[in-house]
Structure 1
Amino acid sequence: MKKALLAAALMSAGVIAHAQSSVTLYGRLDMGVAYMNGIGAGTGANGQATHGSSQVQLESGYWGTSLWGMKGVEDIGGGNKVLFHLEGSFSTANGSLGSAGSLWNRWATVGVANDQFGTLLAGRMLFISNGIWDFDPFGQSNWSSASMVRGRNWPQSSNNISYQSPNWMGFDVYGQYAFSNATNWNGNGSTSQGREAGLQLTYTSSLFQIRGLYDEIRNPDNGSLGGTYATNGLNGGLIPTGSTQANGNGVFAYSRDYMAMFNLFLGAFKVQGGYEAIRSSGMNPGIIGQPTTLDHEWGGVTWQMTPAAALIAAVYHVNANNGGGNATLYTIGGSYNLSKRTLLDIQAGTVQNSKTANFGLNANNFGTAAATGNPLPGHSQVGVYAGIQHSF
């Protein structure tokens, strides 16, 4: 009897040692004060439109999203692991969730990983276009690459399956495929998301890193890569239906995205840049200001002056067809690490718009109402931000 109990105990100990697991709780709080001018259209004493107004706000997430989450891993042996990842965003300024009613709006995945074959995940995750983050001098801060494409390259994606390969001689592959969950494969108005997919290839060496990325986001109303239209009596034309299309955000919401990006590592300096081409179809060319194509270029330098202090300068430019105009964002900033977990950050920027463009510092939807935060077409916008960020 004693031998049987000893054997059972040894077997149990073996199972516990074999299936080790861990759970990590983490988070980040970002808070600062932001000033911007040229917001929306104001009205002067003569009743004529003026160049908007200025604004000072306490803001969360300007340098990096305020978030919290959990990661877990169970080692099941043979180089195999079971993984889960839960992550949600929130506002440090008022405590509200990043998406109303969604606790885990950024990540809610479960999957498996193998040391030799890679990682397979399923659930909700940051969409693959966020791969621009590694090549953006300001790391997709609030005033950066996302500003010139009105947030097209930082969405989340539901119903997604992703695969990340191991590193093969400097190369790695990452892909996503998100189901529409509609009765039509691409989407037909019965669900809130159309089909989404993407693929990226990265090569990394000690001197440089390059990445090519392709993705597409389809309109959930009809599965297309453009807007949804309804007949309108005004001028006998067509207007886009749905709030996203009605504010001129078609190509910024449903389109194909092509990126080519690089990082160059030169000691204390890191040079970054890239080109992004966004293309949509099905838009009405008669609606001026609603582009079907965007060409976005950027470049910048980060100088790591000391282990704690970094200085960053970058330029972002976009050209939009169909009367969308062009705009350039010039920005400088930097950070100083008070510790391994806490940093101070500052950024100043200005957007210069052509006659028909109204891009702002923030990645806002098309429009000139004060609620959008955009300047009037043809006007510039200037802003300064300073804040603190703590990670745990």
Structure 2
Amino acid sequence: MKKALATSALGLVALGAHAQSSVTLYGIIDTGIGYQSSQAALGSNSGGHSVVKVVNGIWAGSRFGLKGSEDLGGGTRAIFQLEEGFNSATGAQGVSGLAFNRQAYVGVANSTFGSLTAGRQYTAYYTMLSPYSPTTWLTGAYGAHPGDIDSLDTLYRANNSLVYTSPNIHGLTVSGSYSLGGVAGSLNAGSTYSAGAQYANGPIGLAVGFQRINNSTPGGGAWGADSTTSNAGAQAGVSGINNGYQTAQAQQRVAVTGGYTFTSQWDISFSYSNVQYIPGINSKFSNEAIFNTGGLVLHYKPLLSLDLAAGYSYTRATESNGITSSASYNQFNLSQYYSLSKRTGLYALEAYQRANGKTLGTSGNIINATADIGDGQNGAPSSSRSQFAAGVGIIHKF
């Protein structure tokens, strides 16, 4: 149960005002044991060994946060959210040096006009697409599309962002976001902009989104040249899938997600994405690289306390930068979640991925594509074309 820290209108009462404010403390703790068939350092495709280790935030990232609102009158509220991720196995910060790495924003909301927020937050692209993301039932760590190449998981939060989201009008919601890069002499360098729309009507849901992330270094190369004012190198997850393209001048994503609920027990969701890595004069590749991904997730709820899901995704890169046998990735996922109570649950996850073809290595050289399940293995992808991972854990929400 979420704990209300304060619900008051101190001072305003003395003035005869009727505005109310609230602040809520909430959080998730998720810890388990995971197995990975082989792992190697990012950028290397040799020397991998299997590993059993304590894993953190697999079903849902461990976090705590504060969120609140104040009634300003006329149907308008001031809102804010501060959210910090942490490692439940070690107590470490989710991202070193960031007190609220997941979200930190403030803004206003109105039931008629929508909301406008400013700070570190998710882009409109992710927010609109996420209800039908494969991560809903397969998790991001094991079930995100390979390496989370299409940013349908929560890896990317944009600094210095302005986000507008409309009210729901007959099932339709639209949103747009712009993140200022803060690089002197340029409005484009280091910026992120995105837009999305979502429609839900009864059992049917559909969403579409666009996102562009610009390198803060003109011409490509290392991201986040000015870590004080730019997005500080906040690339969408770098993995064994896109490692050779991380010096891009810009990344661009277009995606469609959707779902259909057949009965109270069965539902299905789908997703398609097109991801483009655009080179600059300082990039370690010369031609635009494109990755297309399609996926399906089938969710079954045989009991009120039990959720089962199975998913498949296929990712394929286009031929470019001297590659004539482009990389492809087949990923298979299973998940099981058992609710012990409203706030506590047990889960098990299994995933397998097979990679084929060629891709680019860190220095721009052509190498064999290697497997990299979901986004939980991004720092340690497989040393071979195949990878298997499994995990069990417990999650508690408060």
Deviation string, structure 1 residues 1-55 (Cα, Å, up to 9, x no partner): xxxxxxxxxx9647565210000000001111000112228xxxxxxx9772100
Aligned twin of 1:91? 87
Give the whole-Å Cα distance in 2 for the aligned partners of 1:349 and 1:16.
59
Find the residue that maps to 1:143 and give its secondary structure.
Answer: helix
> In 2 relative to 1, CA 206–130 (structure 1 residues): closer, same or farther, beyond 3 Å?
same
Aligned twin of 1:375? 382
State the shift of 1:374 in Å.
Answer: 1.2
1:384 paired to 2:380:
no
Work out whether residues 251 and 278 of structure 1, in 8 Å CA contact, stay in contact via their aligned partners in 2: no
State the shift of 1:136 in Å.
Answer: 2.2
State the shift of 1:123 in Å.
Answer: 0.6
Give the whole-Å Cα distance in 1 for the aligned partners of 2:47 and 2:89.
28
Give the whole-Å Cα distance in 1 for the aligned partners of 2:50 and 2:249.
28
Aligned twin of 2:140? 141
Find the residue that maps to 2:342 and give its secondary structure.
Answer: coil
> In 2 relative to 1, CA 17–337 (structure 1 residues): closer, same or farther, beyond 3 Å?
farther
Give the whole-Å Cα distance in 1 for the aligned partners of 2:262 and 2:99.
41
Q: TM-score of the superposition, structure 2-length normalised?
A: 0.80
Structure 2: gaps spanning 5 or more residues:
1-10, 224-234, 359-368
Match of 1:304 among 301, 306, 309: 301
Name which one, 1 or 2, has greater alpha-carbon Rg: 1
> In 2 relative to 1, CA 141–362 (structure 1 residues): closer, same or farther, beyond 3 Å?
closer
Work out whether residues 147 and 364 of structure 1, in 8 Å CA contact, stay in contact via their aligned partners in 2: no
Give the whole-Å Cα distance in 1 for the aligned partners of 2:390 and 2:76.
48
Alignment of 1:221-370 (within 5 A): 221-222=217-218, 227=221, 247-250=243-246, 254-267=250-263, 268-282=265-279, 292-321=289-318, 322=320, 323=323, 325-356=327-358, 357-363=369-375
Alignment of 1:46-125 (within 5 A): 52-125=48-121
State the shift of 1:185 in Å.
Answer: 3.2
Give the whole-Å Cα distance in 2 for the aligned partners of 1:384 and 1:26.
28
Stretch of structure 1 that moved more, 343-352 or 141-150 = 141-150
Deviation string, structure 1 residues 38-73 (Cα, Å, up to 9, x no partner): 2228xxxxxxx9772100010101111111100010
State the shift of 1:253 in Å.
Answer: 9.1
Deviation string, structure 1 residues 222-244 (Cα, Å, up to 9, x no partner): 1x6x5569xxxxxxxxxxxx9x7
Give the whole-Å Cα distance in 2 for the aligned partners of 1:374 and 1:16.
61
Give the whole-Å Cα distance in 1 for the aligned partners of 2:192 and 2:73.
34
Work out whether residues 214 and 250 of structure 2, in 8 Å CA contact, stay in contact via their aligned partners in 1: yes
Find the residue that maps to 1:133 and give its secondary structure.
Answer: helix
Deviation string, structure 1 residues 193-251 (Cα, Å, up to 9, x no partner): x10011111110112100010011111111x6x5569xxxxxxxxxxxx9x79942428
1:163 paired to 2:164:
yes
Identity over the aligned pairs, expressed in percent? 25
Aligned twin of 1:39? 39
From the two aligned structures, give the one with the greater helix fraction. Answer: 1
Deviation string, structure 1 residues 103-128 (Cα, Å, up to 9, x no partner): 10111111111111011100111233
Aligned twin of 1:172? 173
Structure 1: gaps spanning 5 or more residues:
1-10, 42-48, 189-193, 230-241, 367-371
Q: TM-score of the superposition, structure 1-length normalised?
A: 0.81
Work out whether residues 171 and 200 of structure 2, in 8 Å CA contact, stay in contact via their aligned partners in 1: yes
> In 2 relative to 1, CA 57–129 (structure 1 residues): closer, same or farther, beyond 3 Å?
farther
Query: What number of residue pairs does the alignment pair up?
Result: 349
Give the whole-Å Cα distance in 1 for the aligned partners of 2:287 and 2:59.
29
Deviation string, structure 1 residues 293-317 (Cα, Å, up to 9, x no partner): 1101111101011111010000121
Amino acid at match of 1:179: L
Work out whether residues 134 and 145 of structure 2, in 8 Å CA contact, stay in contact via their aligned partners in 1: no
> In 2 relative to 1, CA 151–50 (structure 1 residues): closer, same or farther, beyond 3 Å?
same
Stretch of structure 1 that moved more, 151-160 or 301-310 = 151-160
Find the residue that maps to 1:314 and give its secondary structure.
Answer: strand
Find the residue that maps to 1:248 and give its secondary structure.
Answer: helix
Aligned-residue Cα RMSD (Å) equals 3.0
Give the whole-Å Cα distance in 2 for the aligned partners of 1:251 and 1:287.
6
Aligned twin of 2:186? 185
> In 2 relative to 1, CA 365–64 (structure 1 residues): closer, same or farther, beyond 3 Å?
closer
Aligned twin of 1:19? 19
Work out whether residues 250 and 290 of structure 1, in 8 Å CA contact, stay in contact via their aligned partners in 2: no
Find the residue that maps to 2:202 and give its secondary structure.
Answer: coil
Work out whether residues 249 and 279 of structure 2, in 8 Å CA contact, stay in contact via their aligned partners in 1: no
> In 2 relative to 1, CA 78–165 (structure 1 residues): closer, same or farther, beyond 3 Å?
same
Amino acid at match of 1:373: A
